[in-house]
Amino acid sequence: MHLRRYFSLKAFPAAWVFGFFLGTASVVVAEEHDPQSPSTAAAFVQAYCIECHGSDSAEGEREFDSFSLPLTTEQQLISADEMIDQVTLKIMPPEDAEQPTDEERVDFVSQLRQEIEHTRDRFESSGGRTVMRRLSNREYENTLATLFDRRVDTLGLTADFPKDTTSHHMDTIGESLVTSGFLLDQHFQAASRLVEARLGKPAVEPQSWHFTDNFRQYEELTGAHRTVFKFEFLCLYEQPNTDTRQGGYGHIEDFLEGVPVSGLYDIEVNAQAMHRDTHYAAEIFRIDFSEPFQLAVVPGDATKGHIHYPQAIEPILGTAIVPDDQPEWLSFRVWLEAGQTPRFIFPNGPYESRASVIETNRKYKDEFENPKVGVSRTSLLREGELPHIKIGEIKVRGPLAEPGGSKEEVAVFGKDGFQEDNALEQLFAFGQRAFRRPLNDADRARIEAIYQTRLSEQAAPRQAALDTLKMMLCSPSFLYLSEITAEDDHELLPYDLAARLSYALWAAPPDERLVEAAESGRLTDPAELRSQIQRLLADERSSEFVNGFLDSWLNLRDIGNLPPPRKAASEYYAENLPESMKEETRLFFRDLLRENGSATNFLDSDYTFVDKKLAKLYQLPERDSLRLADGFQRVSLTDNKQRGGLLGMASVLTVSANGVDTSPVTRGVWVLENVLGITPPPPPDEVPALDSNVSGAKTIREKLEKHREDKTCAVCHRNIDPLGFALETFDPIGRWRTKYPKSKFKNVAAKVDPSGSLPSGETYQDFSGFKAVLFENRREPFVRNLIETLLTYATGRHMEPLDQSEIDRILDRVKADDYGLQSIVEEVLASDIFRSR
């Protein structure tokens, strides 16, 4: 029995909606349909439903006096599907009402299922087509990087764009990706910046810069650096992810104007790791001294904000390990945009240098000839062992010539570069790649008109071509996943199918092989389509699908939006845990995808992937053996009852909390929506918000029990809360706990009670038991939700009632393959729904 039904229709009463997640069952469907046979369904409704759902009472806003077969409206179809779920799961009739026999239930459900199958064929969906949608901001940048064959994140093209509107966390829904006049202007500015920076830049001979002094830094460091170093060293004292930013960013004071043009530059840095063997207590610096110090390069722009502070555009351009024993030259080849200057950071450096200096001065004052209190670091630098990275010289050379021409030049104009006599054909060729389809006569006419207009305005031929290029990058044919399939056609034409497939799996335009399959017409052949799906999945570019889908399905993009207090969870910041949290989930998904592992591993698994940081957060044995250089490793959870599956991952546990505390309600809703696929309706306006703070002897469970005394609240909370109680064994960043934090007012730490009872009768005593209930009794609804979510993400529209039969068929096919994740993705992308306009 498939339980996921129309979760996006929030107007449904809670009593009906929540019934969908409470279990699984199978029904017997009659083999033949006879609409003239006596209505078992009508008799059942009269006997067991009318008392509560007659015209006089209509509990849950459902009135069945007029219910009859055959079904004649889409709303009746929806109601019939709801009734099947409720009766099959024994949610209705309620436990205090007269109950039908099992035979009566089977007869009722069988007749409704039979009628539904026939009714669906009589309806046509009013909106079961993908709205022509705009590229999301991430797809836009990824598309430009693909077309121009170089990363574009150094430009921050979408930094000032309005944030994409999501729908149920999805950033691919056409109806949500609206366009405004402001956004169109931003698109033009972005296109102009990109084209001029990469293709319109003046020819500049390589230059060399060598910096050996005047290394001024954050204001608070000025006195100590003048006194001790005479500004001859650039020093990094802490990682950039702090509040103080005291020595987190090292810049070159004599190079604030940055590089003259965008291009590749070689940077050499003479650096040494100082006092990694310090005798000062490691807890002062909150750093792992067993790990070598790291140095990284990020861009900076003195015109875009304080050069010592984080800026909107600062992707990591290069990293290196810093030697301990003596200074050595470290080399980086990086891409810098015109006006950008290199800055240096200490990614695994001490956390909040100011606090560590204060504590070191206090604790080790007897070791200094002239001890100072507070944030003074003069004595520490002269006489002490303050851990830091010290840079003595910096060399910069560039822009470097690229043999055969720049990547952008080749990508746009070909290996021979811009050819004035062939300019239009070059623009047409690029237009076909940018528009993701063959150009028609109207396309060519518009491109030629823009080019000729610029020539008539006395623009040089190359500049006219660049200006035409800018306008092409603002065309709806580029900004939108437009479809040339006719409105009346049901199945996508090959080029439209190629674009939909490539954006689903790569968030980028089709490559040459996919275009060739579309051009030949082979792509619409089911065997060829499956072959292309497998090829795209095997390509490393499918990481865009993994990242984008997990951000949407599990809402991982919101990790960090509600961060914990720095004092309560300093490791969250000091070790950049959000990135490790997301990477664990991505690697787990990729592993299942590559091996075609069962999607039920998402509910519970005996392995996961961790780096040193997560191993420490999870208190795994590997925390003592892993090194940062090892990256992520697969680890066994066979004997571990605290982890396993999505619900044991810090990413999920963090995004389902509010940063400060946890709530069974918040996490229960997260499980309901993301695992079981049901969106609960909002609470009534008259219901006050529940204070989730645990104070004194009042646990959150006790507060919820009192909250449920209100019948208005009980109907929702009896279904939500049991899904969150087991997750109370994790704090807001996913650390295991058995007690809540002590109250500010009483020295009492309330014990966590992770047990629960679902309305369907299953009980569990702890987190492990809860996962067992999901794994044993909720596998099918979970996988069905996963299928529907994948279809929504890939097609750019939410699924509708009339899509459910096809979803059922996909579920039946993958069930035979033990719900293999690769099989699920392949079946979704080969489905009629995905291939339809």
Q: What is the DSSP string of 72-139?
A: -SHHHHHHHHHHHHHHHTT-SS-TTS----HHHHHHHHHHHHHHHHHHHTT---SS-SPPP-BPPHHH
Token pair of 378 as six digits = 């003069």
Which tens digits make up the pLDDT trace of 765-775?
A: 999 999 999 99
- Spans of the chain, pLDDT less than 50: 1-38, 60, 124-126, 686, 692-697
| Three-state secondary structure string covering 298-331 | EEECCCCCCCCCCCCCCCCCEEEECCCCCCEEEE
Residues whose CB is less than 8 angstroms from the CB of residue 433 and which lie 6 or more positions away in sequence, other chains included: 147, 509
Look at residue 375 in the predicted model and tell me its pLDDT: 85
The span from the CA of 178 to the CA of 593, in Å, is 32
Q: Considering only CA atoms, which of 495, 550, 490 is closest in space to residue 806? A: 490
Look at residue 741 in the predicted model and tell me its pLDDT: 85
> How many folded domains does the chain comprise?
4
Q: Considering only CA atoms, which of 789, 187, 258 is closest in space to residue 473? A: 187
Tell me how many degrees the CA angle 417-418-419 measures, rounded to the nearest 5: 115
Domain presence at residue 540: no
Among 425, 447, 482, give the residue marking a domain's end. 482
Tell me how many degrees the CA angle 735-737-738 measures, rounded to the nearest 5: 170
Look at residue 9 in the predicted model and tell me its pLDDT: 28
Look at residue 373 in the predicted model and tell me its pLDDT: 84
* pTM listed for this prediction: 0.85
Look at residue 11 in the predicted model and tell me its pLDDT: 32
Domain presence at residue 509: no
Q: What is the DSSP string of 362-395?
A: HHTGGGSSS---TT--HHHHHHS---EEEEEEEE
Query: What CATH number is attached to the domain comprising 352?
Result: 2.60.120.260
My answer on whether 155 and 270 are in the same domain is no
Domain presence at residue 754: yes
Among 457, 482, 507, give the residue marking a domain's end. 482
The span from the CA of 431 to the CA of 451, in Å, is 13
Look at residue 25 in the predicted model and tell me its pLDDT: 31
My answer on whether 341 and 244 are in the same domain is yes
Which tens digits make up the pLDDT trace of 724-771?
A: 899 999 999 999 999 988 766 566 778 899 998 887 788 999 999 999
Look at residue 403 in the predicted model and tell me its pLDDT: 92
Which tens digits make up the pLDDT trace of 93-123?
A: 776 678 888 788 778 877 877 777 666 555 5
Domain presence at residue 276: yes
Domain presence at residue 7: no
My answer on whether 356 and 436 are in the same domain is no
My answer on whether 187 and 91 are in the same domain is no
My answer on whether 317 and 425 are in the same domain is no
The span from the CA of 358 to the CA of 375, in Å, is 5
Look at residue 14 in the predicted model and tell me its pLDDT: 30
Among 398, 425, 447, give the residue marking a domain's end. 398
Look at residue 707 in the predicted model and tell me its pLDDT: 53
**Number of continuous H segments (helices) and E segments (strands) in the chain:** 33, 12
My answer on whether 288 and 362 are in the same domain is yes
My answer on whether 676 and 766 are in the same domain is yes
Look at residue 54 in the predicted model and tell me its pLDDT: 65
Domain presence at residue 741: yes
Q: Considering only CA atoms, which of 142, 113, 146 is closest in space to residue 28? A: 113
Domain presence at residue 810: no
Average pLDDT over all residues of the chain? 87
Domain presence at residue 583: no
My answer on whether 241 and 373 are in the same domain is yes
Domain that holds residue 745: 648-777
Look at residue 542 in the predicted model and tell me its pLDDT: 97
My answer on whether 66 and 114 are in the same domain is yes
Q: Considering only CA atoms, which of 352, 358, 390, 388 is closest in space to residue 371? A: 358
Q: Read off the amino acid at residue 401.
A: A
